[in-house]
Amino acid sequence: MTNHWIDIRNSDCILIMGSNAASNHPISFKWVTEAMKRGGKLISVDPRFTQTSSKADFYTALRSGTDIAFLGGMIKYILDNNKYFKEYVAEYTNAAFIIADSYDFNDGLFSGYDAENRKYDKSKWGFVKDEKGIPKKDRTLQDPRCVFQLIKKHYSRYNLDTVSAITGTPKEDLAKVYEMYSTTGQQGKAGTIMYAMGWTQHTVGVQNIRSMAIIQLLLGNMGVAGGGVNALRGESNVQGSTDHCILFHIWPGYLKTPKASLPTLAAYNKKYTPKTNDPLSANWWGNYPKYSVSLLKSFFGDKATKANDFGYNWLPKLDDGVTYSWLDLFDAMYKEEFKGLFAWGMNPAASGANANKNREAMTKLDWMVNVNIFDNETGSFWKGPGMDPKKIKTEVFMLPCAVSVEKEGSITNSGRWMQWRYKAANPPAEALPDGQILMKLGKAVQYLYKKDKNAVFPEPIVNLKWDYSTHGEFDAHKMAKEINGYFLKDITVKGKKFKKGDLVPSFAYLQADGSTSSANWLYCNSYTSKGNMSARRKREKSGIGLNPEWAWCWPVNRRIIYNRASVDKTGKPWDKEHPVIEFKGKVENGKYVSKKWVGDVPDGGWYPMQNPDGSDRKDTKYPFIMKPEGHAHVFGPGRADGPFSEHYEPVESPVSKQPFSSQLASPVAVTYGTNMDIYKSDDPKYPYVCSTYRVCEHWQTGIMTRWQPWLLEAQPQLFVELSKELGAKLGIKNGEKVIVESARGKVEAVAMVTIRFRPFTIQGKTVHQVGLPWHFGWVHPKDGGDSANLLTPSAGDPNTRIPETKAFMVNMRKA
Closest to another protein by CB, 211 vs 372, is 372
**Contact code string over 262-281 relative to another protein, x by CB under 8 A:** -x------------------
Closest to another protein by CB, 432 vs 749, is 432
For position 815 contacting another protein by CB under 8 A, the verdict is no
Contact pick of 187, 266, 444, 815 for another protein (by CB under 8 A): 444
Give the range of 136-144, 216-224, 385-393, 608-616 binding another protein by CB under 8 A: 385-393
> Checking DSSP bridges between strand 491-493 and strand 496-498, what pairing results, if any?
antiparallel
Closest to another protein by CB, 155 vs 299, is 299
Residue 763 CB, nearest distance to another protein (Å)?
A: 31
Residue 715 CB, nearest distance to another protein (Å)?
A: 9
User: Which of 153, 170, 3 is CA-nearest to residue 79?
Assistant: 153
45, 58 contact by CB (below 8 A): no
For position 473 contacting another protein by CB under 8 A, the verdict is no
Closest to another protein by CB, 372 vs 653, is 372
Closest to another protein by CB, 432 vs 625, is 432
Other beta carbons less than 10 A from residue 509's beta carbon? 22
Which DSSP letter does residue 641 get?
Answer: T
Closest to another protein by CB, 315 vs 587, is 315
| CA terminus-to-terminus distance, the chain | 43
For position 533 contacting another protein by CB under 8 A, the verdict is no
Cβ-Cβ contacts under 8 Å for 170 (sequence gap 6 or more): 60, 164
Helices (H), 156-204: 160-167, 171-182, 197-200
Residue 690 CB, nearest distance to another protein (Å)?
A: 17
| Torsion sign (Cα): 800, 804, 805, 807 | positive
Other beta carbons less than 10 A from residue 540's beta carbon? 13
Alpha-carbon distances, residue 730 vs 219, 240, 655 (angstroms): 46, 46, 21
Taking CB under 8 A as the criterion, which residues in 608-667 touch another protein? none
Alpha-carbon distances, residue 157 vs 75, 105, 218, 312, 361 (angstroms): 11, 12, 18, 49, 44
For position 8 contacting another protein by CB under 8 A, the verdict is no
Contact pick of 269, 419, 666, 681 for another protein (by CB under 8 A): 419
Taking CB under 8 A as the criterion, which residues in 21-50 touch another protein? 24-28, 30
6, 545 contact by CB (below 8 A): yes
The secondary structure element, H or E, covering residue 466 is none
Closest to another protein by CB, 105 vs 707, is 707
Give the range of 474-482, 555-563, 589-597, 723-731 binding another protein by CB under 8 A: 474-482
Contact pick of 593, 598, 714, 728 for another protein (by CB under 8 A): 714
Tell me the DSSP string of 5-34: TGGGGG-SEEEEES--HHHHSTTHHHHHHH
Give the range of 36-44, 168-176, 347-355, 642-650 binding another protein by CB under 8 A: 347-355
- Please tell me the number of Cα atoms within 13 Å of 39 on its side-chain side: 4
Closest to another protein by CB, 24 vs 281, is 24
For position 66 contacting another protein by CB under 8 A, the verdict is no
Taking CB under 8 A as the criterion, which residues in 324-343 touch another protein? 324-326, 328-329, 332-333, 337-343
For position 424 contacting another protein by CB under 8 A, the verdict is yes
Contact pick of 58, 105, 254, 449 for another protein (by CB under 8 A): 449
For position 696 contacting another protein by CB under 8 A, the verdict is yes
Give the range of 38-46, 108-116, 154-162, 427-435 binding another protein by CB under 8 A: 427-435
Contact pick of 144, 316, 501, 735 for another protein (by CB under 8 A): 316
- Whole-angstrom Cα distance, residue 375 to residue 371? 10
Decide: residue 198, CB within 10 A, 0-12 exposed, 13-18 middle, 19+ buried. Answer: buried
Which DSSP letter does residue 341 get?
Answer: E
Give the range of 114-122, 132-140, 537-545, 718-726 binding another protein by CB under 8 A: 537-545
Closest to another protein by CB, 94 vs 410, is 410
Contact pick of 130, 302, 395, 490 for another protein (by CB under 8 A): 395
Torsion of CA 258, 264, 265, 270, to 10 degrees: -80
Instruction: Kindly tell me the number of DSSP H helices and DSSP E strands found in the chain.
Output: 21, 35
Residue 631 CB, nearest distance to another protein (Å)?
A: 28
- Whole-angstrom Cα distance, residue 16 to residue 67? 12
Closest to another protein by CB, 422 vs 529, is 422
Residue 231 CB, nearest distance to another protein (Å)?
A: 9
Closest to another protein by CB, 593 vs 714, is 714
- Whole-angstrom Cα distance, residue 54 to residue 504? 49
For position 107 contacting another protein by CB under 8 A, the verdict is no
Taking CB under 8 A as the criterion, which residues in 721-780 touch another protein? 780
For position 548 contacting another protein by CB under 8 A, the verdict is no
Taking CB under 8 A as the criterion, which residues in 285-314 touch another protein? 299, 313-314
Give the range of 133-141, 145-153, 318-326, 720-728 binding another protein by CB under 8 A: 318-326
For position 367 contacting another protein by CB under 8 A, the verdict is yes
Contact pick of 79, 175, 267, 431 for another protein (by CB under 8 A): 431
* Residues touching another protein, count (CB under 8 A): 168
609, 620 contact by CB (below 8 A): yes
Residue 254 CB, nearest distance to another protein (Å)?
A: 12
Taking CB under 8 A as the criterion, which residues in 203-262 touch another protein? 232-248, 251-252, 257, 260-261
For position 411 contacting another protein by CB under 8 A, the verdict is yes
Alpha-carbon distances, residue 287 vs 11, 254, 270, 290, 397 (angstroms): 34, 13, 11, 6, 43
Residue 63 CB, nearest distance to another protein (Å)?
A: 23
> Checking DSSP bridges between strand 688-693 and strand 769-773, what pairing results, if any?
parallel
Q: What angle do CA 439, 442, 448 make, to 5 degrees?
A: 140
For position 399 contacting another protein by CB under 8 A, the verdict is yes
Closest to another protein by CB, 7 vs 138, is 7
Torsion of CA 207, 212, 218, 220, to 10 degrees: -130
- Whole-angstrom Cα distance, residue 762 to residue 467? 60
For position 386 contacting another protein by CB under 8 A, the verdict is no
For position 57 contacting another protein by CB under 8 A, the verdict is no
For position 584 contacting another protein by CB under 8 A, the verdict is no
Tell me the DSSP string of 402-416: --GGGS-EEEE-TTS
Residue 451 CB, nearest distance to another protein (Å)?
A: 10
* Phi, psi angles (nearest 5°) of residue 583: -90, 125
Hey, is 632 helix, strand or coil? strand
